[in-house]
Amino acid sequence: MADLLQIVDLADAGQVQLSLHTGPGQAETAPAANFPLPLTGSELAEIRWYFTEYPENTFGEAKTRAEKVEAGLKDLGLLLFQGVFGSSDEARSLLERATGPENDQPQLTIISNRPEFLGLPWELLNNGGDAFLTSQLAGVSRRLSPGPLDDFSGRLPTDQLNILLLLPPSGEGSGSIATEALTALESLPVDAELDCLRPSSPAKLQEQLAGKPGHYHLVHFDGFTIDGQGMCMEDGSGGVTSLDAAALAQTLTGAQTPVVLVNASSSSALNDVMSFAAGLAENGVPQVVVAPLPIAGSGRVLFCENLFKGLSGGTPVAQTVATIRQAMKDHPQRPSATGPLESWDWTLPMVFESQNYSPEAIVVEEAAAPVPGMPQPEQETSATDLPRGGPYGLIGRHAEMLDLERRFRQAPVVLLSGDVGIGKSELALGLASWLRKTGGRSGGVFYSAFEVGAGLERVLHEIGTSLAGLDFADLRNEDRRTWVVDYLKENPALLVFDSLQNLAGFPAGAPGLLDDSEMADLDSFIKEVAEGGQTWTLLVSRRDKEPWLTVPHGSYRLGGLAGFDRIVFGTRLLEEAGADPMRLGPEYLEILELVDGHPLAMEIALPLLKDVPASVLVGELRSELEHHQPGADEEGRPPCLTVVMEHAFSRMSHRSR
């Protein structure tokens, strides 16, 4: 067993005490040392600003301000180190013995019941050089008391890694890592399953865990806001409720859940997150992994990949988080307004523990060799293939996807509308893929795009043959419709009908793909399916209203990319174009605002920054936009897109035009 270094908060005396545990009952303690809390409220606010706001505006004074924060973080680590290990010869000796070359790497545990003490970035500990103490440690954890920990006694499956995912009431500012988590699970060499709780309410959670005790290796609360009342969750009826740590812990421990992951939203106060995580540990949750602020870009990928690799491989949680931290530190580039930026977000992941838990490795079961001559079972399918999206796929849009999914709880038919190039199809495909992979629509996901003149018959054929095979085509026309409608009425499926504007003709006056009777036929089909109350139908159009559509439906108007999503997409475009970040300046943000985060307009405008300074480009675009007069053929196209297209065309050589 590795040695254990403990930093104990003696809050009443305003001191800390270091001890080294080398075995059961074998502990040495250094004299207590005075330890005032080193961070003021304004300094904590600066650190929060650095992680949450700075990447969206890295110009001018913001850059200087961020450099001060980064220097302050390194100095803070030195201050913490000196306050604990430099306080006495005995403390220095204990550290030297624990980290000596003849020993295994020790674990460091921070012990306190004060959230402001637990929330200090102890991962920054350094002695003034380039190296951080964490590189010499097996892991860093936080506990509420210094006594020995009991062992987790639950027995969990070893044939598959089981994860339960909960989603917040709103995706705004959540910093969700759900997509990255799903991708990481899919890439594991062992079997893994992710269940997504819908709705993610306390009652539903209790029901789910009570029905599957000893099943989940990890319960993931993704992007939730935590305040002084607890965690803000759905109440199951469209509202929001708060759940305190003690009540949540009771539900989790009753189902023998060993690990909880909480990545908090950007609006959560650090002390509230620390109090909540400590409350979970205090009330019996064995291991709590916390990211108190959102992690961005590739940091999310590194976090998820290493977390699930460690859990499935049988690595202790604190050691797994140490691996995550090192991976994020080794690859610190994150998206920002000036392109890839080195971040200190490797300091964010933390572990609280109340019980010892060493995961059992998930065993890879070898498939039996096929018997010669024996037919192999065919894989069942209950969906049509989803097409590939555009060249960039779905960038961000987590809040929109979460909001869109929840619109279906109010109405089984939703019309998703937006201008050309705004990303409607990408969002629809992203939602379809998400629901398929997380089991949100167990009856299947079916996608049809109306780009050519084929109406309901094609839809019925694609759905029917994907469910019943080619024999479906042998049914009579009316029987095919009845069969599909009955299936969709009885099973929770998702239908996606894309490019709906083409049916009646787009732009206005253009010939449509279907005549009035064919559109009425499709309308009645959608209405029939909706009456079953099981299947959701997502209609995608450039129009906010389709004149032939009479079925009652909800509406969702999609706007441009906002906030950090806008920055992430811009970073990717600038990297591909080879644009020099030094040419950008604060006018770059003005360009993003001028095109209102419109993805296609960004895709056309930003590569121009390779040859044109942002200060010049924004002036030219603004002038052209002021004088732009929309033409009759610009229905569904925002003025900014037309102006950007014409400007980019004007900059081409005669031959390129």
The predicted-structure confidence for 318-340, as pLDDT tens digits, reads as follows 999 999 999 999 999 999 998 88
Percent of the chain with pLDDT over 70: 96
Q: Does position 656 have pLDDT exceeding 80, yes or no? A: no
SS3 529: helix
List the beta strands (DSSP E) in 265-322: 287-291
Q: What is the pLDDT of residue 453?
A: 67
Cα separation values, 69 from 81, 329, 343, 345, 548, Å: 18, 17, 11, 13, 58
Residues 616/645, Cβ–Cβ less than 8 Å: no
Quote the Cα angle for 143-144-147, to 5°: 80
Mean pLDDT lowest among 446-450, 520-524, 650-654? 650-654
For residue 351, which phi and psi values (nearest 5 degrees)?
-130, 130
pLDDT level of residue 66 (50, 70, 90 thresholds): very high
3-state secondary structure of 482: helix
Query: Torsions phi, psi of 303, nearest 5?
Result: -60, -55
Q: How confident is the model at residue 486 (pLDDT cuts 50, 70, 90)?
A: very high
Element (H, E) at 95: helix 89-98
Query: Given a cut of 60, is residue 378 above it in pLDDT?
Result: no
Specify the pLDDT at position 533.
84
pLDDT band at 655 (very low <50, low <70, confident <90, very high): confident
Is 366's pLDDT higher than 60? yes
Average pLDDT over residues 503-516: 85
pLDDT for 414 equals: 98
> Does the domain spanning 4-143 belong to CATH 3.30.420?
yes
- Residue 373: per-residue pLDDT: 59
How far is 258 from 217, CA to CA, in rounded Å? 6
Q: Please report the pLDDT score of residue 421 as a whole number.
A: 93
| CB-neighbour burial class of residue 226 (10 A; exposed 0-12, middle 13-18, buried 19+) | buried
Tell me which of 383-392, 404-413, 432-441, 604-613 is least confident.
383-392
Distance in angstroms (rounded) separating the CA atoms of residues 463 and 207: 33
Which pLDDT score is estimated for 220? 98
Answer whether residue 188 shows pLDDT above 70.
yes
Please determine whether the domains at 150-356 and 398-557 fall in the same fold group of CATH: yes
- Residue-wise pLDDT tens digits, 592-615: 999 999 999 999 999 999 999 999
Out of 3.40.710.10, 3.40.50.300, 3.10.180.10, 1.10.240.10, select the CATH number for domain 398-557: 3.40.50.300
Looking at per-residue pLDDT, the higher value among 623 and 453 belongs to 623
pLDDT at 253: 97
What confidence tier does 382 reach under pLDDT thresholds 50, 70, 90? Answer: low
- What pLDDT does residue 375 have? 55
pLDDT for position 223: 95
Distance between CA atoms of residues 117 and 13, nearest Å: 14
Mean pLDDT of all residues in 365-370: 65
Lowest pLDDT segment from 1-15, 33-47, 249-263, 586-600 = 1-15
> What is the pLDDT averaged over residues 174-183?
92
- Length of the chain in residues, anyone? 657
> What is the rounded distance in angstroms from the CA atom of residue 561 to the CA atom of residue 582?
24
Rounded CA separation 226/173 (Å): 13
Number of alpha carbons in the 13 Å side-chain half-sphere of residue 251: 17
State the Cα–Cα distance between residues 270 and 117, nearest whole angstrom.
11
Looking only at the bridges linking them, the beta strands covering 259-264 and 287-291 are parallel
Sorting pLDDT into bands at 50, 70 and 90, what band is 617? Answer: very high
**Among residues of the chain, what percentage have pLDDT more than 90?**
79
Q: How does pLDDT run across 72-109, given as a tens digit for each residue? A: 999 999 999 999 999 999 999 999 999 988 788 999 99
Q: What are the extents of the domains in the chain?
A: 4-143, 150-356, 398-557, 563-650
d(CA 118, CA 280): 14
Q: What is the largest CA-CA distance in the chain?
A: 90
- Residue 264's beta-bridge partner residues? 224
Residue 2 has pLDDT above 60, yes or no: yes
> What was the pLDDT predicted at 532?
84
Averaged confidence pLDDT in the chain: 92
Backbone angles phi, psi at 82, to 5 degrees: -65, -35
d(CA 344, CA 334): 10
Class of CATH domain 150-356: alpha beta
